[in-house]
Chain A
Amino acid sequence: MKRKLQIGLVFAASLVSSYTFAQDAATAEAPKEEKPKITMSGYIDSYYLTAFNGPKSGNLMGTGNNGGSYFAGRAFDRLTDQFALGLVQTKFAYSDSHSDLVIDLTFGPNAELGNFGNQRAMPGGYATGFFPANGNQNVLYGSSAAIKQAYFTWKATSKLSFTIGQFGTHIGYEVIDAPVNFHYSLSNLFNNGPFYHIGAKANYSLGDNASLMVGIVNNWDALTDWKKQKSAIAQFYFKPVDGFNVYINYIGGHNDDGFKIPGTANAAYSVPYTAGYNRQLFDITTGFQISEKFYMGLNAAYGWYKFNTTDAAEESTIKSLYQKTNPSWGGASLYSSMVLSDIFSVGVRVEHFSDTYGVRYLAATNNSVTVTVPITLADGHVILKPEFRADASPTKIYEDKDGLETNKQQTLGMAFIYKY
């Protein structure tokens, strides 16, 4: 996996080094003053799917791995043989020449799952992280689960801007928003990466074809912080040619996993953490519009923990959980899609994901193929997404019709999305 990452980084570096920042040809553009504007948008989504492995429990979460602690075979669209609601979004945006404001409110099952760190506990009693010791926990967490994003950006100059608040992560290819993704089900790279951050970041434009973002955030997926150290985030974006976008992303921090808080005995584990750790994650996300109708994308990520064990007992504890003191995870996902007509398009996602040390949620290696045929109707307001997905893992993490473990899971379903 490290070798794959090295190859990927060398490839990315070669693109950067060979890239020259082209100057625009002399143009006589009409200067336009940006008037303040407020927009409102949103969507609702629901789905119906069936699984050929017919899980007895009626959901696609699997039987759980890592001692039965984790259930993450399918993180979001997890219910079978029933109409299921996904998410309801209402998003307000204000924009003028000096600032942007985004208030992105979401409700429903997928909103709760995506914002699990803004709640006191997940269904099933899993604690989701740290809760400040005070008498107002319910007040603190009361409505926060509905905030998917809430931030403002101050455009200090035409090139430099600052953003502060809660914002969707810069890591990865996919997002929670069903209309934005090509596929309805979400990749394991998405499910096992960060969803959002609370913090501040600065973005500097390096011309029309490149930009650099750096920032500090509390941690991953959590409303409140349990430590003084903040995590660092960074993104370098560049566009080698028109239609080819490359994002190189990073996040790194100290003790920044809400399920691995030193000194606490998280419900997901039977032993308390004592050793601190550093966690790093590198991610590359690219998309290339090869022709007018054919698009390809690639997402690859590699991350690792480095536990700072101070004695044999700590080392033994960490190794009993993760086999080693520097466990890693990662994967790659290849996307391709083609526009067939104004109504139909077709896309395939092929993904390999590895969490063999169980530091993330899947706690297994998994390969999957997803084929989706989005159908766009009603002036783009209605999107139907028939989708077939096949998952296979060398570890028996899925569930069959008898409730027993199995290696495979195949689903066929339809998502119903209305956006405005």
Chain B
Amino acid sequence: MKKRRLTLFALSFVLTAITMQAQVNLPLNSSGKVEIADVVALDSTTRFELYDRASGLLAELAGFVDKFTITEQDVISGKIVCDMKFTLYTNQVGILKKEAGSITYKLTMDFKDNKYRYAFTDMVFHYIKQDRTYKMVTTGQTKGLEETKAGGWQKAWNHYRATTSSKIASQANVIITRMKEKKKAATPANAAETKKLDW
């Protein structure tokens, strides 16, 4: 009996661990859409200076994705908007690893004196299929990353959401780090505030 209880406990522990590993919690905004955003303070910097710094790090952000398009870059309004796209691969390994779809999303950066805001939004998975010439082509079908269920391909879907989350976290880290580094070079005494700010 004790052995059975121990086995059940171990099994439930393993299942819980697997489930926790599989689940990816992507933050949702008030509209129920995935949004990874933050407002970061950098004292004693004008919005023009922040805009220049952000413009300088776009090339580095582009290195994370397959397609990087600047759709708006306006110093007057203090805004940069970029569309990004990267290819997803199956979670197979080695030569079995194949294209599985793509993710598109948007980065919006706004600048005010002493602070800036970044927001990754509009995250959409694009289905692909093999056409009659054996090339992978988009089907036109899409699935928002806020959806957590994927009947018949849940494991793959969890993998794609996790991959997207990880990639965007890396890009957010680049934004925060590079913006801060330049700030340090200019005025080393100022440190970025860690508490959440209102825009």
Contacts and interface: CB of A to CB of B under 8 A. Distances in A.
A383 to B, nearest CB: 10
Nearest to A378: B152
Contacts of B70: 27-28
A346 to B, nearest CB: 14
B69 A292 contact: no
A341 B95 contact: no
Contacts of A339: 141
Interface string A170-210: 10111101011000000000000000000000000000000
Interface string A125-145: 000000000000000000000
Given A30-B62, A30-B66, A173 B153 contact: no
A11 interface: no
A39 B151 contact: no
B170 interface: no
A35 interface: no
Given A41-B98, A173-B132, A179-B130, A292 B142 contact: yes
Contacts of A289: 139-140
Contact of A293 (B90, B132, B133, B141): B141
B152 A28 contact: no
A379 B159 CA distance: 11
Interface in B19-70: 58-59, 62-63, 65-70
B150 interface: yes
Contacts of B155: 379
Interface in A256-306: 285, 289, 291-293, 295
A148 to B, nearest CB: 11
Contacts of B140: 242-243, 289, 291-292, 295
A12 interface: no
A27 B66 CA distance: 13
A64 to B, nearest CB: 30
Contact of B67 (A29, A40, A177, A341): A29
A40 B95 contact: yes
Interface string B84-96: 0000001010011
A394 interface: no
Interface string A361-382: 0000000000000011111100
A380 B150 CA distance: 11
B132 A180 contact: yes
Given A30-B63, A173-B132, A380 B68 contact: no
Given A175-B132, A341-B151, A420 B96 contact: yes
Interface in A1-56: 27-30, 32, 38-41
Contacts of B131: 180, 245
Given A30-B63, A30-B67, A292-B141, A38 B132 contact: no
Nearest to A170: B133
Contact of A376 (B90, B95, B153): B153
Interface in B88-126: 90, 92, 95-98
A343 interface: yes
Nearest to A173: B132
A379 B153 contact: yes
A342 interface: yes
Contacts of B130: 177, 179-180
A39 B97 contact: yes
A242 B153 CA distance: 27
A420 B140 CA distance: 23
Nearest to B142: A292
B18 to A, nearest CB: 16
Given A27-B70, A29-B67, A30-B59, 5 more contacts: A285-B132, A289-B140, A292-B140, A292-B142, A295-B139
Interface of B: 58-59, 62-63, 65-70, 90, 92, 95-98, 129-134, 139-142, 150-153, 155-156
* Chain A to chain B: the 7 pairs with minimum beta-carbon distance, closest first: A289-B140, A30-B62, A342-B151, A343-B152, A27-B69, A379-B156, A40-B95
Interface of A: 27-30, 32, 38-41, 92, 102, 168, 170, 172-175, 177, 179-180, 242-243, 245, 285, 289, 291-293, 295, 339, 341-343, 375-380, 420
29 contacts: A27-B69, A27-B70, A29-B69, A30-B65, A30-B67, A38-B95, A39-B98, A40-B96, A92-B95, A102-B134, A168-B134, A173-B132, A174-B132, A175-B132, A177-B130, A291-B140, A292-B141, A339-B141, A342-B150, A343-B152, A375-B152, A376-B153, A377-B152, A378-B153, A379-B153, A379-B156, A380-B153, A380-B156, A420-B96
